[in-house]
A = this chain, B = another copy of it.
Amino acid sequence: MTQTNLQLLTVSLEEDVVEGTDLAALILRDFDLIDGDIVIVTQKVVSKAEGRIAVLADNDPTAFDALVRAESRRILRRRGALAITETHHGFICANAGIDRSNSDPGTVTLLPIDPDRSARRLLAQLEHRTQCELAVIITDTFGRTWRSGVTDVAIGIAGLDPILDLRGTLDHNGVVLQATEVCVADELAAAADLVKRKNGRNPFVIVRGYENTHQRGRGSISTDVVRSYHSDLFR
């Protein structure tokens, strides 16, 4: 009988993150990281630290709409004030990921320009300062088709392949598993959301005990998870 135990840790953060905040320093102040830890960070604090903030009056739908268009490659659907957009990254999400909650009054956050690069930069800082082998995932909250409710997904990754490729693996009868490419990046993002409070005070979650030694990879969300426009059956 082999027992497996995975832990998710978070602490409430008291201070505000602003442009230039050293996220690695905040993380290392609150967590004693060890080899194999996966550091999961919400988009909101990455955007703030990178200065991806726009000034926008609270009741100006025209300006909001212009900003959504500027941050989008395509608008796929509209329903009232909600636009389902394809961002320049290729993410399909509401209103190009522009978000007013947990932002300073009169401002909104925009998605990082390149979340995979943001993750690689943060990973390099954390590994340099700890000398541990880690991984970083940047998450945001997206809706999805066919099922109600939002879930957290990965928008950037470093130090871990986002897809666990089990094609060719045998099941316990010795039969090859069918199409089994698991998006562990999104499963880790979803898991991390379970320990957060929605007041925005849990921007960092540590996943400890995930057996990822086999997949110390160079994959990225943009290349491995985002489906191209023409490969998707539902546009």
Using CB atoms and an 8 Å cutoff, list the residues of chain A in contact with chain B: 1-12, 14, 30, 77, 79, 84, 91-92, 94, 99-105, 141, 144-153, 162-163, 166, 169-173, 175, 177-184, 186-188, 190-191, 193-195, 198-202, 207, 210, 224-227, 232-234
Contacts and interface: CB of A to CB of B under 8 A. Distances in A.
Nearest to A77: B233
B6 A150 contact: no
B149 A162 contact: yes
13 contacts: A1-B12, A1-B14, A4-B195, A4-B202, A5-B9, A77-B233, A92-B145, A145-B233, A148-B183, A151-B187, A180-B198, A188-B194, A191-B194
Nearest to A183: B149
Report, nearest first, the 9 A-B pairs whose CB atoms are least far apart: A149-B183, A191-B191, A190-B190, A187-B190, A6-B8, A145-B234, A92-B146, A77-B233, A102-B171
A1 to B, nearest CB: 5
Given A145-B144, A234-B77, A199 B171 contact: yes
B7 A11 contact: no
B198 A171 contact: yes
Contacts of A103: 173
Contact of A178 (B101, B188, B199): B101
Contact of A5 (B7, B152, B169): B7
Given A77-B234, A150-B180, 13 more contacts: A4-B11, A5-B8, A6-B8, A8-B191, A92-B145, A99-B178, A101-B177, A146-B234, A147-B183, A148-B181, A148-B225, A182-B193, A184-B194
Contacts of A3: 9-11
A84 B8 CA distance: 34
Given A194-B188, A201-B172, A234-B234, A146 B227 contact: yes
Contact of A147 (B14, B202, B226): B226
